[in-house]
């Protein structure tokens, strides 16, 4: 009778070992899935922010180049009267003692 109890206890013991293994496996799977669920969106957000940072850096470089060009024009306005006159004439301005004549094509009327 002692061997029968021992054999029955061994079978039940093996079931509990299997239950513990399954429970631990499920717990580990749950933890891994939770880690993936938490970090994948953060990884995507980080990638998005890096792409946005790169685009903003390009935009900043472009704006810095524009600022330098405008600063050069500003310096020329301060030091070069011919540049000021050329720019003003390009905008359609004339000096106070000048007259302008407009040629009108008679076929347009």
The domain limits of the chain are: 2-94
pLDDT at residue 109 is higher than 70: no
Task: Write the pLDDT tens digit of every residue in 12-51.
Answer: 567 888 889 999 999 999 999 999 998 888 899 999 999 9
Three-state SS letters, the chain: CHHHHHHHHHHHHHHHHHHHHHHHHHHHHHHHHHHHHHHHHHHHHHHHHHHHHHHHHHHHHHHHHHHHHHHHHHHHHHHCHHHHHHHHHHCCCCCCCCCCCCCCCHHHC
Residue pLDDT, tens place only, 49-96:
999 999 999 999 999 999 999 999 999 999 999 998 898 888 888 888
Q: What is the pTM of this model?
A: 0.50
């Amino acid at each position: 009778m002692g061997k029968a109890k021992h054999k029955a206890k061994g079978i039940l013991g093996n079931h509990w070992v299997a239950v513990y293994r399954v429970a631990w496996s499920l717990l580990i799977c749950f933890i891994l899935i939770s880690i993936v669920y938490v970090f994948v969106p953060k990884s995507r957000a980080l990638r998005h922010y890096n792409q946005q940072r790169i685009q903003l850096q390009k935009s900043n470089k472009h704006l810095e180049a524009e600022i330098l060009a405008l600063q050069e024009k500003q310096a020329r306005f301060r030091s070069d009267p011919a540049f000021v006159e050329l720019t003003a004439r390009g905008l359609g301005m004339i000096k106070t003692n000048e007259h302008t004549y407009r040629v009108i094509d008679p076929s347009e009327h």
